[in-house]
Amino acid sequence: GAKNRSASAWCFFHEGMTFAAHERLALEARLRKALELDHMRLFYQPQIDLATGRLVGAEALVRWLDPEEGLISPARFIPVAESSGVIGPLGLWVLREACSQGQRWREAGMPDIIVAVNVSLHQFLLTDIAGATAEVLRETGFPASQLELEITESALATQPEEALAVLKRLRELGLRLAIDDFGTGYSSLAHLKRFPLDLLKIDQGFIRDIPHSTDDMSISSSVIALGHAMGLKVLAEGVETREQLQFLQQKGCDYMQGYLCSRPLPAADFMQLLEKTHAGQPLVELLPEVDE
């Protein structure tokens, strides 16, 4: 009867919870081990200047290279790293690796390259991100002015006063600061204008359906105008089609990232792209069928 059904439903739910908790703990242990064993890798996705078509920077994106499972996406392990505290050592590893790589690219003839590093909520509010960053910049010799930290809008909205204090310390180091996934996090414009920022990254959710969604076209062009009115640069994420590129160029968006130009690449493959752009070739023109 109904009673039995609800009892067994409850049991199922309960067992499900236990399984999920167990799986989480197992994943946390594997993650710590993977860090120790040097199984983390950074991929780099090109950031393109829309006015010139040139590659100006790279966003570092972490992957876990498991000997059995292969590449594991950050969506699967960043949440566990955040809730378990592993984000402290993992975040430090990412910063150190990204800055060392950036310094190698500078030495290889890309003196101005910007390297962008993601910082998640707990990493931003609960670890000494400013101290860790200062230390890594000293160790690697990478200039603060070429390191950009990406912080999600929701991290800034959760505790705006604390966030402002951290942003000010980072700004004192001379770093560039970006808001990631802009438009998804309910931050108030009153707070936003007090934060010392350089860049808004329009979330890919607003780019994906351009040019079919007129709402998304309005939102994206409003964010570009808002960013510019606040003295910020604007980057569009997740650009996959030439129509999207043209729309963004028309609206005066400053930078783009997306599969249209390149997926995130291992450092060696990214270096090959750099070599092509050394020859003076804008990255966007490397694509077939360019108009204008």
Q: Please report, as ranges, the residues that interact with ligand C2E according to CB under 6 A.
A: 45, 61-62, 73-75, 78, 91, 94, 118-120, 123, 150, 180-181, 204, 237-240, 257-259, 264
Cβ of residue 97: shortest distance to Mg ion, in angstroms? 16
Cβ proximity to ligand C2E: between 180 and 254 the closer is: 180
Rule CB under 5 A: is residue 180 a binding residue for Mg ion?
A: yes
Question: Which of ligand C2E, Mg ion, none sits in contact with 49, Cβ below 5 to 8 A by type?
Answer: none
Q: Which residues contact 66 (CB under 8 A, 6 or more apart)?
A: 30, 34, 39, 72
CB of 42 to ligand C2E, least distance (A): 7
**CA-CA distance, 224 to 207, in Å (whole number)?**
12
Return the number of the residue (204 or 281) whose C-beta is nearest Mg ion.
204
CB 277 within 8 A of CB 55: yes
SS3 category, 142: coil
- CB closer to ligand C2E out of 28 and 194: 28
Amino acid at residue number 201? K
Q: Which of 84, 101, 118, 140 binds Mg ion (CB under 5 A)?
A: 118
Write the secondary structure of 235-269 as one string of H (helix), E (strand) and C (coil): EECCCCCHHHHHHHHHCCCCEECCCCCCCCEEHHH
CB 198 within 8 A of CB 227: no
For the chain, give the longest Cα–Cα distance. Answer: 75
Q: Considering the complex, what minimum distance in angstroms separates the CB of residue 26 from Mg ion?
A: 25
Residues from 235 through 274 that contact Mg ion (CB under 5 A): 237
The nearer residue to ligand C2E, 110 or 117, going by C-beta atoms, is 117
Partner that binds at residue 257, options ligand C2E, Mg ion, none, CB closer than 5 to 8 Å by kind: ligand C2E
Find the shortest distance in angstroms from Cβ 206 to Mg ion. 11
What letter represents residue 10's amino acid? W
In the structure encoding, which two tokens stand for residue 117, read together? 């590093």
DSSP β-bridge partners for residue 200: 179, 234
Which part of the chain contacts Mg ion (CB under 5 A), choosing from 91-99, 113-121, 163-171, 270-278? 113-121
Which residues are bridge partners to 182 per DSSP?
202
CB 45 to ligand C2E: min, Å: 6
By CB under 5 A, name the binding residues for Mg ion: 118, 150, 180-181, 237
